[in-house]
A and B are shown apart, each in its own frame.
Chain A
């Protein structure tokens, strides 16, 4: 199993550009999450999904959108990138709710200039 995969690993965007961060898992997990981690800070939840077709906002959803058309994929869309979105983005999945281990992808380092 590949676990949780994320692409790209690194990206530099200009202000106002858009992009999609890809996330996929092959563990048949229902629950998937997007976090951002700023230097010296804890992980902040952006969006999460409890199954295909079901998504909900986390703590910091502004400027982002998600979709979950399949169990495996959970892309994160950034529209109109801003310098405040410079961060490391982690995708994670878990078998069921918050009583279970989360598995993380390797992260995407995004810089917005």
Chain B
């Protein structure tokens, strides 16, 4: 089993749609969770950190479910500019300084 797993997609959705991605992680001792956005041939950039209580930033909502070991990202009212690859990133357990990256989920928002 991969340490961090994501559905690669692509998810093709019309503008204005709501879309959700999940990401599962294998190490129950993982301590930090992030969603990054990566545009084609560019570097990843932080979209949002994921907290135990969940968090929201405008049209984006992230949730953490420790019992089932997954995190989710919900995008409401999709824009063309949301088209990108969304990377799930899990911070390794204490004592190391490593991040584990999922392979990413591709989103295409269609006009």
List residues of chain A with CB under 8 Å of any chain B CB: 31, 33, 35, 40-45, 48, 50, 58, 88, 90, 97-102, 104-107
Contact = CB atoms under 8 A, between A and B. Distances in A.
Given A43-B44, A104-B45, A106-B42, A99 B103 contact: no
A48 B98 contact: yes
B98 A45 contact: yes
B31 A58 contact: no
Interface of B: 4, 8, 31-32, 34, 41-46, 49, 87, 89, 91-92, 96-99, 101-104
Contacts, number: 56
Contact of A98 (B8, B44, B45, B98): B98
Interface residues of B, dominant DSSP: loop
A105 B99 contact: no
A38 to B, nearest CB: 10
